[in-house]
Amino acid sequence: MIRYDDSANGVEPHQLSGFFESWRNHPTPETHLELLHRSDAVVLAIDTETNAVVGFVTAISDGVLAAYIPLLEVLPAYRNRGVGTELVTRVVDRLCDLYMVDVVCDAPLLPFYETLGFRAGTAAVIRRHARQGGASAPALTA
């Protein structure tokens, strides 16, 4: 069975194995846990038998108008059974008072997000692949 949690409190790095599939230089489980703690909202899908995190979504927000969903992933063995839909539904519910909620995705995934209430837009992005493992602190300049 899968349970959903809107906090990463109590999660240990060893529960975060197998994510960032196909990333060349992916974050360690420790860095993954840090980004979960530092996000404004998270939802985790946890296999109740193994206690492993099998899916997660994060959101970052100003808490006034805008939120962005940077990361969503479900482990391959758990896909196509509604876990991704549940994660996005739950995080969007948590952002329901905000004017704008944005996600950037590849074109084939648009129908997935459209089903969940998003509509197609146009995005401009920067991607620094050398930083895929995580920022060197301090990540933000004043």
Quote the least distance from Cβ 55 to ligand COA, whole Å. 6
Say what the alpha-carbon torsion angle 82, 85, 88, 94 is, to the nearest 10 degrees.
-80
What φ, ψ does residue 116 adopt, rounded to 5°?
Answer: -95, 10
Determine the residue type at 53.
V
Applying CB under 6 A, among 100, 109, 120, 135 the residue interacting with ligand COA is 109
- Which lies closer to ligand COA via its Cβ, residue 14 or residue 81? 81
What φ, ψ does residue 31 adopt, rounded to 5°?
Answer: -70, -35
Q: Does 79 bind ligand COA (CB under 6 A)?
A: yes
Residue whose beta carbon is closest to ligand COA = 84
Q: Does 120 bind ligand COA (CB under 6 A)?
A: no
| Binding segment toward ligand COA, per CB under 6 A, in 34-42, 74-82, 92-100, 122-130 | 74-82
